Amino acid sequence: MTTYHAHPIPPTALKELRSTDDGGRRTVPLTDEEGGSPLRCCLRRSAPGERIALVTYAPLRRWAAENGVDPGAYDEQGPVFIHAEECGGPQPDGLPFANAHRTLRRYSADGRILGGTLVDAPDDAAFHNAFDDPAVALVHVRAVEYGCFLYEVRRG
């Protein structure tokens, strides 16, 4: 069976988001006193005292621009936490944020939603099922509670 990998926000996007977010707002760093915020730059939870920022991110818009397609009405943006400064990126140790119910939202190569699935926890079997449909090019993993983007998984 194929092993699937989580893709964090790409470094070029992070550099842009650390000054101006995808909503056009100036990024304002803050100190996370309590920790526990899900960081989309390194795919782990923040530690108490880390400098982070809450920014607006448009993951499908950026993916569509890379692939020369227009996501149309499926273009959306939402809040994500990132480190305020560069970090070491994710550690290759499995799927992050996998200890809770998640939604796997499937997208076609032209940026259209093909469906979604609620899973107890993301794992290789859940992604295998999502990519069983040859029309699926990309899967977003999202939090159930707020629908927030956590990371993406791509075919191949």
Among 56, 83, 110, the domain boundary falls at: 83
Among 54, 83, 112, the domain boundary falls at: 83
Structural domain count of the chain: 2
Q: What local confidence, expressed as pLDDT, does residue 156 receive?
A: 67
Q: Same domain for 71 and 111?
A: no
Q: How far apart are CA 119 and CA 122, in angstroms?
A: 6
Please answer whether residues 59 and 140 qualify as being in contact, where contact means their C-beta atoms are separated by less than 8 angstroms: yes
Q: Answer yes or no: is 46 within a domain.
A: yes
**Predicted confidence (pLDDT) per residue in 12-63, tens digit:** 999 999 999 999 999 999 999 999 999 999 999 999 999 999 999 999 999 9
Per the confidence metrics, is the pTM higher than 0.85? yes
Q: What is the mean pLDDT of residues 95-104?
A: 89
Q: Same domain for 69 and 108?
A: no
Q: Answer yes or no: is 114 within a domain.
A: yes
Q: Same domain for 116 and 75?
A: no
Q: Answer yes or no: is 3 within a domain.
A: no
pLDDT > 80? residue 1: no
Q: Answer yes or no: is 31 within a domain.
A: yes
Sheet containing 38-39: order of strands:
30-32, 50-57, 78-83, 38-39, 44-45
Q: Give, as one character, the DSSP assignment of residue 20.
A: B
Two tokens, residue 22 = 């995808």
Q: What local confidence, expressed as pLDDT, does residue 3 receive?
A: 79
Name the residue range of residue 63's domain: 11-83
**Predicted confidence (pLDDT) per residue in 100-155, tens digit:** 899 999 999 999 999 999 999 999 899 999 999 999 999 999 999 888 999 999 87
Q: Same domain for 66 and 109?
A: no
State the pLDDT confidence band at 9, using cuts at 50, 70 and 90.
Answer: very high
